[in-house]
Amino acid sequence: MSYKLDWAPIWNNRDLLVEGFLTTIALSASALMLALIIGVIVGTAGATHARGALRISSAAYVELMRNIPLLVHLYFWYVALAFLRLPPFMCAVFGLALYSGAYIAEVVRSGIGAVPQGQRLAALAIGLTPRQALLFVVYPQAFRIMTPSLASICSQLIKDSSLASVIAVAELTYQASAIEGQTFRTFEVYITISLLYLLLVSAVSYGLLLVPGARDVVGRIPSDA
């Protein structure tokens, strides 16, 4: 038997796909904002030169979060902490943010470490406080270095958001499963959402690489890196 593609069911259920697409964007954006906050704080703590509690706590957080599967993170918020009565959307946001925040923390730590130490010392020498040196001298240079890696993590977070379907978040993959269950047009449904994910991830990735100086950093990365 030859399988004939029929795109009519996809068009008839376009409202569900649009709703799922918008939910994916909202989920990814919310999780990314929280992950960036976590990553900057933890990464900055990990970049401190003194081997104190901050640096140890940062390393412990990164190792703990990165070595637990994302699906377990989601189930932890949705099932283990069910007594909190958090909406599935918020459970997904927290799970994604804590997981991705650990990767962002490592990028931030490495980015700060890549800025020559003389830059910070020069800033202190002209009268800036350590905090001002970090905010106005170190961070701007580190951000340019970090942008390609942050674009990669952001892309991965968007793709990882599809796992939120297992805790009943009505994002793109969840809606696709619902449409496929009603219409049995498996190929059409998953081809469609694959193209939507490709569109979203590509737009975000290339958008971040438009940050001034980001392409220069990418150009200096060896092709076999």
Q: Stretch 133-150: mean pLDDT, rounded?
A: 88
* pTM, full prediction: 0.86
Paired tokens of 68: 């637990």
CB-CB neighbours of 72 under 10 Å: 11
Label residue 50 by pLDDT band (50, 70, 90): low
DSSP code of 137?
I
Map tokens 């130490």 to a residue: 117
Residue 138's Cβ-side half-sphere holds a number of Cα atoms within 13 Å equal to 28
Structural domains for the chain: 27-166+191-217 (1.10.3720.10)
Distance of alpha carbon 59 from alpha carbon 189, whole angstroms: 42
pLDDT over 90 for what percent of the chain? 59
* Single-letter residue type at 66: R
Contact 211, 64 (CB under 8 A): no
